[in-house]
Structure 1
Amino acid sequence: MPDVIDHLKIMNNALSRIAAGSIMAEDEDTDLAAQTVPVYYDRLDAVLAMYGWTFAGKTYKLDRVGETVENGYVTADTKFMNGWRYGFALPGNRVGEPRRVLDNPRRPDYPFRDFLIEGGNLYADRDELWATVTVRPDPIVWRPDFRLALTCLVAADLCIPVTHDQRLAEALFQQGEGSPSEQGRGGLIGRAIAADAASAPAKAPLHNTPLTDARFM
């Protein structure tokens, strides 16, 4: 039977790299779990947010926020106080800002750009909008090279607080993200980004014609 690939498995793979033992559950009452779990999710979110991974994007139709005085809606002007007619709640499970905002989800290569993000909401003069955001996907759908890079970086993050081994931490960071001049995008993570970009489908040319417009009506 193949090993189950989940967040706990990757945490323990990172711990094994620094010979720090393992944890049985994310919520277990041990110092090791208390150190490992928040560090892991912080690093995961940071790596997910640094690039538009093909396996971590999801498109949502945005929910309109209530047009009430309490959230800044000016009834007399039929606008919010920031000047926009409609407000939308961004998905609560997103990592970072939306990758793109759309007024037609069937046309992802034609992003909608006339909006404002403020206070966790998105404001625009369209009454329907969609957004493609980065989410935390199940590890089973991650690219193997992404999983390897993340394991290395989590091990590096945990090395000093758990083992106090500065030299090992530096070696793991070098392996995971390259030299300081590469600004966190070299090493294993840089190779994972390059491979993911190469696997992405080619985008349609950004031009409109009557035929293409009619196709998506």
Structure 2
Amino acid sequence: MTDIYDHLKVINNALGSIGAGKIMAEDEDTELAGQVVPIYYSRVRAVLAMHEWSFAGKTYKLDAIAKTADNDYDTTAQIFNNGWRNAFALPGTRLGLPRKVLTDPRNPRDPLREFLIEAGWLYADRDQVWAVVTVMPAPDVWDPQFALAIERISAADFCVPVTQDDKLASSIRAVAEGSPTEQGRGGLIGRAMSSDAAKARTATPQWRDPLSDARLM
């Protein structure tokens, strides 16, 4: 039977690597779960926001915001108070700002460049807008190098509250994130970033102009 690789598995792998016990559920009423689960999710969100991971991007069509005075819309000028014609809500599940804003989700090589983001809303002079954002994907779609790095980073984070072992924490963190001068972008996570970026460059198709293609046929 295939072992399920989920957030609970990642947490328990990290705990096991520092000689700690396991938790049976993320929401169990134990001191151990209360210590490690919040730390884990904060760290995963932070690491996902550090790099445009290929497995964590998702495209959303943005929902238009109602053009009402309550939303700072000037019905006389037919624009929002900041001068833009339309406003859209950014996905609540996103981590950080959009990677890319698009007018055609099938043409990511030609992003929308004129827009404004304020207080979770995106303003643009377009009737339809899409955004590519970073989300928190399930661990079973993580790149293996990223998964290993997260396990080690989490283990370093768990050391102090669980084992009170600063030396062990520093040792694991050096492997997971590199030296302090690398600011959390070295070690295993740095290699995972480099590998992911290389894969993304190889996998991204070059944009092609159908009219140019037709002339060459």
Do both share a fold (TM > 0.5)? Answer: yes
TM-superposed deviation, 1:202: 4.1
Q: Kindly state the Cα deviation for residue 181 of structure 1 after the two structures are TM-superposed.
A: 1.6
In 2, Cα distance between the equivalents of 1:159 and 1:80?
Answer: 50
Matching residue of 1:21:
21
Identical-residue share of aligned pairs (%): 59
CA 1:182–1:203 in structure 2 vs 1: closer, same or farther (change >3 Å)?
farther
Where does residue 65 of structure 1 map in the other structure?
65
> Matches of residues 38-187 of structure 1 in structure 2 within 5 Å?
38-187=38-187
Which residues of 2 match residues 197-212 of structure 1 at below 5 A?
Answer: 197-200=197-200, 201-204=203-206, 211=211
**Cα distance change of structure 1 residues 103 and 210 upon mapping to structure 2, 3 Å threshold:** same
Q: Deviations over 1:5-28 (max 9, x none)?
A: 000000111111111211111111
Alpha-carbon distance change, 212 to 177 in structure 1, aligned in 2, over 3 angstroms: farther
- C-alpha displacement of 1:151: 0.5
RMSD over aligned CA atoms reads 1.7
| One-letter amino acid matched to 2:16 | S
* Cα distance in 1 between the residues matched to 2:144 and 2:177: 16
CA offsets 1:194-215 (integer angstroms, 9 cap, x no match): 111121214526xx9682699x
Alpha-carbon separation, structure 2, partners of 1:77 and 1:31: 58
The SS at the match of 1:76 is: coil
- Give the secondary structure class of the aligned counterpart of 1:44: helix
Point out where structure 1 has 5 or more consecutive residues left out of the alignment: none
Could you tell me which amino acid in structure 1 is paired with residue 50 of structure 2? M
Give the ranges of 4+ consecutive aligned residues of structure 1 lying more than 6 Å apart after TM superposition.
none
Which deviations, in whole Å up to 9, do the C-alpha atoms of 1:149-186 show, x marking residues without a partner? 00111111111111110001101110111011212111
Which whole-Å CA distance do the structure 2 matches of 1:96 and 1:56 have between them? 12
Count of residue correspondences = 212
Go from structure 1 to structure 2 and tell me whether the alpha carbon gap of 1:26 and 1:102 turns closer, same or farther (over 3 Å shift).
Answer: same
TM-score, normalization: structure 2?
0.93
Q: Which residue of 2 aligns with 1:6?
A: 6
**Ranges in structure 2 where 5+ consecutive residues have no aligned partner:** none
How far apart, CA to CA, are the structure 2 residues paired with 1:27 and 1:38?
10
The residue identity in structure 1 corresponding to 2:110 is Y
Indicate the SS of the match to 2:76: helix
Rounded Cα–Cα distance in structure 1 between residues aligned with 2:30 and 2:159: 17
Cα shift at 1:68: 1.2
CA distance in 2, matches of 1:101, 1:73: 22
SS at match of 2:88: strand
Q: Normalising by the residue count of structure 1, what TM-score does the alignment of the two structures yield?
A: 0.93
Query: Given residue 37 of structure 2, which amino acid in structure 1 is its aligned partner?
Result: V
Q: 1:213 to 1:120 in 2, by over 3 A?
A: farther
For the residue of structure 2 that corresponds to 1:15, the secondary structure is helix
CA distance in 2, matches of 1:196, 1:11: 23
Work out the CA distance in 2 between the residues paired with 1:167 and 1:147.
23
Letter in 2 for 1:59: T
Change (3 A) 1:212 1:122: farther
